[in-house]
Structure 1
């Protein structure tokens, strides 16, 4: 459980750290949350797992599956952060080898 002293605000960064900070002395306080992400970026020769939604919450992860005959060149997932999707890997054709 986390808590802060009176007149301090708790900040949490999912991928880095958390801290308490003094609240400013103003008449109103605006707290901004992270923006959601829009539609999933298309990846050639791949399909994503799950159902398509209009918007995705910060921190949501989408996993891609390359079509038969293709393999992923990096991580098979993307994540939503600050209203943007991480850069997806690509699916490259698997070369045939002869003996």
Structure 2
């Protein structure tokens, strides 16, 4: 019995645009019997989201990424987010070495 390979796609949103349209087209062409597909969206509810096939699991963005979408957070929390972003960026770069 073969295990399905896992695919993860990450994009800011599925608003109207060329990359977004291409991604939705690609998602619809992938064989769901061979692949388990996850899609990480940082902003939900955009125009192309309704065209994502049902077999694609749409993941919720981590809590600290909500700051990207200006969801009414205070200045104090915005500073905290920038700290998370810096730590994440630094960690990803250091792990490369």
Report if TM-score (shorter chain) is over 0.5. no
Instruction: Please state which structure has a larger fraction of its residues in strand.
Output: 1
TM-score by length of 2: 0.26
Instruction: Please state which structure has a larger fraction of its residues in helix.
Output: 2
Using CA pairs under 8 Å that are at least 6 residues apart, name the structure with larger relative contact order, 1 or 2: 2
TM-score by length of 1: 0.25
